[in-house]
Homo-oligomer: A and B are copies of this chain.
Amino acid sequence: MQTKLLDDVRNQNPIVFNISNFVTVQDVANGINAIGASPIMSEEIDEAEAMVQMSSAVALNLGAFTTGQIAQIKRVGELANQYHKPLIIDPVAVGAVQYRLDVANQLLSDFQVDVIRGNAGEIAALAGIDWQAKGIDAGEGNQDLDLIAQSCAQKQHCVVILSGPTDVISDGQRVVHVLNGTPLFQLHVGSGDMLSSIVGAFAAVTADYFEAAQTACAVFATAGQIVAEQLAEERPGTFAVQLMDELHLVTRAEIEQKLKVE
């Protein structure tokens, strides 16, 4: 776990280009900003190349695209490969909606991603493993989460983050668990989308995406945990606001002190 990457993000302030879903886009932009990177968004294919060129990482959220936007997403993914920019995807609800899974699988054959971040239902779907997803939520299943993450990483030749109460990160061989966090993440709709784009910020400052993925999870989960520990009750609105504060305030030393990884 290279917590030093947090300082690198803050010092380098990398631009992260996001194809965001319209539900959580404001949170994602502010989350990237709070962690110390610089967000930019666009839905226009004519500026895709300029956006990718100026950026240090590209994050594609598949949470609410229309058929018309698929061409733009495809183009951005291909450009990220062409310009060797780290490429992260967040395959929202592919475990629950066949249409989304079909589009995601097609896109994953059009370009090579570096990191996939999803919940158990989403990662299982991309791994081709049986699982009962529920809408945007993870749902339930009997498979071992390590196996799902590992198997998805092998199939897609990339790093996989399977988010949940414990985050499981795998590069297909190795598996790391980040045990930090809080159930309050589940109560705020934008949490997963924010994490995916923050992974982009970390992937912008190192060529080791397995390290970038772990560190992003550790920082994000620990920041949330610090906020939750200070709340006397489950306050999802206040949590979301103070999470933004803590992403800006949290230090390497605090993360190292709280960190539970195995």
Contact = CB atoms under 8 A, between A and B. Distances in A.
Interface of A: 15, 20-27, 29-30, 33-34, 38-47, 50-51, 54-55, 64-67, 93, 96-100, 134-137, 187-190, 233-238, 240-245, 248-249
A248 B51 CA distance: 37
Given A23-B26, A30-B189, A136-B39, A99 B235 contact: no
Given A39-B135, A233-B245, 15 more contacts: A23-B41, A24-B29, A30-B240, A33-B189, A38-B135, A44-B99, A47-B97, A50-B98, A50-B99, A187-B248, A233-B249, A235-B242, A236-B248, A237-B243, A237-B245
A42 B65 CA distance: 8
Contacts of A45: 67
A22 B24 CA distance: 10
Number of copies of this kind of chain in the complex: 3
Nearest to A227: B237
A19 B96 CA distance: 18
Contacts of A249: 233-235
B33 A236 contact: yes
B245 A236 contact: yes
B30 A237 contact: yes
A92 B29 CA distance: 14
